[in-house]
Every structure is written in structure tokens, then in C-alpha cells.
A = this chain, B = another copy of it.
Amino acid sequence: MIHRTPGGTRDVLPDEMRELRGLSSHLRATFEEAGYGEVRTPSVEYEDVLRRGDERSAGAGYRVFDERGEVLVLRSDMTIPIARMVASRFPEASTPLRLSYFAHAYRAVEPQSGRPREVLQAGIELIGEPAPEGEAEVVGLMLSGLERAGLARHRVAIGDGSLYRMLLDHLGVAPEARTALLERLTRRDLVGLEALLARLDLDAGEREALTVLPTLRGGREVIETARRALGKGLAPAVDALDRLTGCVELLAGGHAAARVIVDLGLARELGYYTGAVFELYDPAVGFAIGGGGRYDELLGRFGRGLPACGIVVDLQRVHVAQAEEERLA
């Protein structure tokens, strides 16, 4: 007589739990020593709060009806609830604010997709610190935490989520084509992207820039390649590349320099990122183990306009990566 758990959820038995607790405590110690105070927000939020943070975020969550029939939503990430909390509970606290969390997020998933509905996240948010210092701090700290937790081969890709959007705006690409292009970019479907670009009314140089930019991945030199591809006409993009250079230079001075990859094709799904975006990998496994970015407009939507950035890992994926690293070692 087997009683199932809902698809995309699972029981965690003692051996795995002990290892997950071990990972958490290494990360927690790393965050604490750097002055990040742990917070917790409720598992459920009012739907309009999540919608204010990101239209898609409210839709991606599970709806819960309370005893009065009010619609609550299980949080689908911690960044939006923390933005709400900072505006409500720290309206006048001096900045920067350094906060961390260890909590589950809940995602609606396609049936039979095998994707988890519950994700155990460990993350940090740095509020009130502008680019590029903020980015360098959170990325450097997460890389240290993962090292302390036992990973040896992890990498972080750093790009800029606003870069491609700016370029599309600058070139006057119509909204419909823009959405389709960004969707291909987010899925890293570069073949599909190129096919779409071929149908747009662009000159050869413009099409070349839009095609080449997402393929630029490597060391700091790819930022220079991007500068040449974009030309001089696009001041905001040049600013974004300058910030990226600044972030990479700050990290180059630290212990984690060799772990940094510049990736100008990186575009994260969530809609609130305004600048740098990050993705964490481990070569032992074929999936991202975490990510994050800068979200300078999110806190203002809750009434306290402050620049901010954050980074998060999926602890169960980190655990799989760690086990794979050990197996391959």
C-alpha cells in the first residue's frame, strides 16, 4: 500500500537530510561572518504583493484559499517577499542591509515534467549597494560559501540582463518580435534566435550584433569583443559593459577569480532584473545550481527605492553536484 506524495515533491530521509543540513550550516556560517542576518518570511503572501514584485511571479505560484476565501499564493521565490519586508519593517534602517535566507520556494510545474514543486533555497540579498561593488560582494561570498560547503569545481557566469533588451529597444524592434527573441534567448536557443533575426528588417551590422552578442562567453576579453560589436552608438549598453568590467575586475582581485566566466548571452527568466545577472554551475552536473542578479527597481515598488542585488542556490542541486564531484574525483 503505497501512498504517493504530490508529483514534483519528495520525502527526504535521514542520510540526505544530514548532508543537506551540513551544506546549510557551511553556507550559513559564511553568510553570518560577512554580516548577513538570516530572515524568514511567511510561506504564503497576498497575491497582489507578489504581482507588484513581478507579474509572472504571482502566476507561477500555487494558490491557496484561506478560511475567508481570500487568495493567498505560496511564495515562488524569496526576493520579492524580502523586498516587501524591507520596505515594511526597515523603512528607515541605514544601508546597506545584508540579509540571508534558507527557505523553500514553490513552483507550479508541468505535470510529468519531473521538475520539483518545492525548491530548498539558500540565498543572500544586499540592499542599498550599487553596481559593481554589490555584485562583486554577493558573487564572491556565494563562491566562498560553496567552497566551504565542499564544492571544488563550481563556476559563476556573469552577464547583463538589460544588455540585449537595450539593444532591441535601440534598434526599434517591434514588441512582438522582441518578446519572441527574448524567449529564445532565455532558453539559450541560439539557432531559433538567428532564424527569427533573419526575418527582421535590420541591416547587416545590426543583425550581426544581435547574433554575436549572445555567443560571447569566456574571459574578460569578451567584453571588449562586445564593445566592438556594439559600436559606439549605444551609450547605455556601454555603461552596462563598464559595470560588468568593474564587477569582473573586483572579483579578479579575490580568491574566486578563476571561477568567473563572462557570458553575454545570459538572460534569467525573472522579470525584475535590471542589470547584472548570474548563473552558478558545477561541471560535474548538467544544470545550473543557482543564480541571481541586480534588481534596482524592485524595492521602489514597495515604497523604499534602493538599488539591490542577490544570489541564491538550490541546495538539493548543490548536494547532487557535491556528490557527483566526489564520485568523479
A residues within 8 Å of B by Cβ?
1-6, 9-15, 17-18, 21, 28, 37-46, 49, 52, 62-68, 70, 72, 74, 84-85, 87-89, 99, 104, 106, 108-111, 117-118, 302-303
In the complex the two chains form, is A44's CB within 8 Å of B11's CB? no
Chain B minimum-CB-distance residue to A38: B17
In the complex the two chains form, is A9's CB within 8 Å of B39's CB? no
In the complex the two chains form, is B42's CB within 8 Å of A118's CB? yes
Residues of chain B within 8 A of A9, CB atoms compared: 42-44
Chain B minimum-CB-distance residue to A40: B12
Give 29 CB contacts A-B under 8 Å: A2-B88, A3-B46, A3-B49, A3-B84, A3-B87, A5-B41, A5-B45, A6-B44, A6-B45, A6-B46, A9-B42, A10-B42, A11-B88, A13-B89, A14-B37, A14-B38, A17-B39, A18-B37, A21-B28, A43-B104, A44-B62, A62-B65, A62-B72, A64-B74, A66-B108, A66-B117, A67-B108, A67-B109, A67-B110
Shortest distance from the beta carbon of A13 to any chain B beta carbon, whole Å: 6
In the complex the two chains form, is B37's CB within 8 Å of A11's CB? no
Residues of chain B within 8 A of A99, CB atoms compared: 14
- In the bound assembly, the distance between CA atoms of A84 and B1 in angstroms comes to 10
Known: A67-B110, A108-B67, A302-B1. A41 touches B88 (CB 8 A): no
**One of B2, B4, B13, B43 near A106 (C-beta < 8 A):** B43
- 9 closest A-B pairs by beta carbon, nearest first, are A14-B37, A1-B303, A9-B42, A12-B40, A17-B38, A62-B64, A3-B84, A67-B108, A11-B85
Chain B minimum-CB-distance residue to A106: B43
Residues of chain B within 8 A of A64, CB atoms compared: 62-64, 74
Residues of chain B within 8 A of A303, CB atoms compared: 1
Chain B minimum-CB-distance residue to A9: B42
- In the bound assembly, the distance between CA atoms of A11 and B199 in angstroms comes to 50
Chain B minimum-CB-distance residue to A4: B46
- In the bound assembly, the distance between CA atoms of A12 and B4 in angstroms comes to 33
In the complex the two chains form, is B37's CB within 8 Å of A89's CB? no
- In the bound assembly, the distance between CA atoms of A108 and B67 in angstroms comes to 6
- The residue in A11, A111, A117 that gathers the most chain B C-beta atoms within 10 A of its C-beta is A11
In the complex the two chains form, is B4's CB within 8 Å of A17's CB? no
- In the bound assembly, the distance between CA atoms of A74 and B42 in angstroms comes to 13
Known: A46-B4, A88-B3, A302-B3. A40 touches B62 (CB 8 A): no
**One of B12, B28, B66 near A39 (C-beta < 8 A):** B12
Shortest distance from the beta carbon of A244 to any chain B beta carbon, whole Å: 31
**One of B11, B52, B302 near A41 (C-beta < 8 A):** B11
Known: A3-B302, A67-B108, A303-B1. A43 touches B43 (CB 8 A): yes
